[in-house]
Amino acid sequence: MSESHFQSGRRDFLKQSAILGAGIFASTAYALEPRITPQIKNIYPFYHQYQQGIATPAQKNIYFMVVDLHTTDIEKIKEMFQTWTAYSANLTLGKNVKQYGDNIYVPPVDTGEADSLNPYHLTLTFGVSPTFFDKLGISKLKPEELKELPHFPRDQLKAEYTGGDICIQACANDPQVAFHAVRNLVRIGRANITMRWSQAGFNSYEGSDTPRNLFGFKDGTGNPQGEELAKTVWYQKDNWLKGGSFLVARRVQMHLETWDRTNLMGQEETFGRHRDSGAPIGMKNEFDSVDIHQKDAKGNTVIPEISHLHLAKKTGLSILRRSFSYSSGVDTRTGQFDAGLLFISFQKDPQQFITIQNSLGNIDKMNEYITHIGSGLFACFAGVKDENDYLGKALFDAI
Ligand code: HEM
């Protein structure tokens, strides 16, 4: 949309609100203006074969929310997803959830903190957990892959970061835009849902560089691309989830103080990559190929067998990692940073994640520096194809 289009649209609105408000006491003086979209290019299309926020490039900020259902009325949940669809279509265009009215005696329809902000590539991704099906009495529609994740070695999951029925992943290149989206979706769903846990996160990078995690290492290098990505993430079976994906979320606390006392060689052996370049140990460049069987002159594997890279790679499996760092103040028990990684991965079958996590298990050298404290598994619907479609339609139609 050109600047002039935008300006005339805004003038039209003001004219319209003046007409509408002509007979109403003082209301036009206070009427809120609609949210504007000055940089229309910062948009990922909402209507698509696949949900956004999976294969779309990772943005700089996330606000991840998990909610519980407090109704068993399927019709109400369906209506909520229909409203969320309409709201999401607007939000991802950089609009308010709905156009403001001019009645100053009711709360504004949109909470307003993103007014005048552009869309910042906002994506909204929705998924449902195994308990969603149990609570609504539709367990027969639960895909066989959608089971609670098993207990992994060294897990120390906390109730406050685990469980929940629906997840909303909001990602954007601005933290306020991401938060605003989730806040407004939760606000309209309040009659049916209660917030359970959430986590904000960030990724910083210049241009197309791979972001570094809080251990200072490039994170995301080995992610699948193109055809391989498609084969890794999209659920293919012929049921309501076709074209969707499974989202695994893990809140992983990273013990920064311990890490910061580890020498560089130890840090690099932990990941199996060089810190500066991101190259596999023994190689020069970040995207140089990884050969976990390569031996040095003494017969030792060049990429240590207990390194994160070696153990992940040896499974031969692939997942799409779309993680974000977090820093949530101080852990009052230890006086250390409450910081880490909101690990998020997408895969067509949770077993891909389970096998890799079991391979990392007790052996991964990185275990000395991390603790998994939160967890969730969600089946993310296929995309909303057009305005006649809505989030989860294939599931609700199957009931
Ligand atoms: C705090 C937790 C974690 C940190 C800091 C971390 C960090 C890293 C880093 C720095 C790399 C190398 C660069 C790259 O390819 O991205 C990597 C690779 C990888 N990580 Fe993690 N990771 C964490 C947890 C996990 C978990 C929980 C899983 C899955 C169960 C996982 C699976 C992988 C995979 C599959 C690779 C790519 C290996 C390949 O090149 O094929 N990571 N991770």
Tens-place pLDDT, residues 247-256: 999 999 999 9
Evaluate if residue 14 carries a pLDDT over 80: no
Atom 39 (ligand 1) nearest CA: 222
Pocket of ligand 1 (CB under 6 A): 213, 215, 217-222, 250, 252, 254, 271, 273, 290, 308-309, 312-313, 319, 321, 340-341, 343, 353, 356-357, 360, 370
Q: In sequence order, what E strands does 130-282 have?
A: 166-172, 193-202, 245-254
Q: Please state, in angstroms and rounded to a whole number, the distance separating the CA atoms of residues 349 and 366.
A: 25
Fill in the DSSP letter of residue 321. Answer: E
- Angstrom distances, CA of residue 29 to CA of 24, 98, 102, 116: 10, 20, 9, 19
Element holding 370 (H helix, E strand): strand 370-380
Tens-place pLDDT, residues 79-125: 999 999 999 999 999 999 999 999 999 999 999 999 989 999 999 99
Closest CA to 50 of 242, 220, 337, 318: 242
More confident residue, 4 or 376: 376
Find the Cα–Cα–Cα–Cα dihedral 115, 117, 123, 129, rounded to 10°.
Answer: -40
Evaluate if residue 205 carries a pLDDT over 50: yes
Query: 157, 303, 309: which to mutate for ligand 1, most atoms within 8 A of CB?
Result: 309
pLDDT band at 16 (very low <50, low <70, confident <90, very high): very low
pLDDT band at 12 (very low <50, low <70, confident <90, very high): very low
Q: Please state, in angstroms and rounded to a whole number, the distance separating the CA atoms of residues 188 and 314.
A: 46
pLDDT band at 39 (very low <50, low <70, confident <90, very high): low
| 219 C-alpha to ligand 1 centroid (Å) | 7
Predicted pLDDT of residue 33: 72
Query: 154, 281, 321, 355: which to mutate for ligand 1, most atoms within 8 A of CB?
Result: 321
Atom 16 (ligand 1) nearest CA: 220
Predicted pLDDT of residue 41: 73
Q: Please state, in angstroms and rounded to a whole number, the distance separating the CA atoms of residues 50 and 397.
A: 18
| 308 C-alpha to ligand 1 centroid (Å) | 7
Q: Which pTM does this prediction carry?
A: 0.92
Evaluate if residue 13 carries a pLDDT over 90: no
Predicted pLDDT of residue 20: 37
Query: 343, 355, 367, 369: which to mutate for ligand 1, most atoms within 8 A of CB?
Result: 343
Evaluate if residue 131 carries a pLDDT over 80: yes
Closest CA to 131 of 164, 169, 161: 164
Mean pLDDT estimate for the chain: 92
Buried/exposed code over 302-326 (b: 16+ C-beta within 10 A; e: otherwise)? bbbebbbbbbbbeeebbbbbbbbbb
Q: In sequence order, what E strands does 226-366 have?
A: 245-254, 320-321, 324-331, 336-347
Q: How many CB atoms lie within 10 A of CB 367?
A: 17
The amino acid occupying position 329 is G
Predicted pLDDT of residue 279: 98
Evaluate if residue 19 carries a pLDDT over 60: no
Atom 28 (ligand 1) nearest CA: 357
Q: In sequence order, what E strands does 49-162 have?
A: 61-69, 123-128
| 240 C-alpha to ligand 1 centroid (Å) | 30
| 3 C-alpha to ligand 1 centroid (Å) | 43
Evaluate if residue 36 carries a pLDDT over 80: no
| Token pair of 27 as six digits | 């209301």
Lowest mean pLDDT among 2-6, 195-199, 216-220: 2-6
Predicted pLDDT of residue 2: 34
Evaluate if residue 29 carries a pLDDT over 70: no
- Angstrom distances, CA of residue 23 to CA of 20, 30, 103, 238: 7, 14, 12, 57
Nearest atom of ligand 1 to the alpha carbon of 210: 16
Nearest atom of ligand 1 to the alpha carbon of 360: 30
- Angstrom distances, CA of residue 381 to CA of 78, 116, 126, 385: 13, 31, 7, 11
| Token pair of 266 as six digits | 């130890």
Predicted pLDDT of residue 380: 99
Lowest mean pLDDT among 19-23, 85-89, 195-199, 308-312: 19-23
Atom 6 (ligand 1) nearest CA: 219
Nearest atom of ligand 1 to the alpha carbon of 345: 29
| 237 C-alpha to ligand 1 centroid (Å) | 27
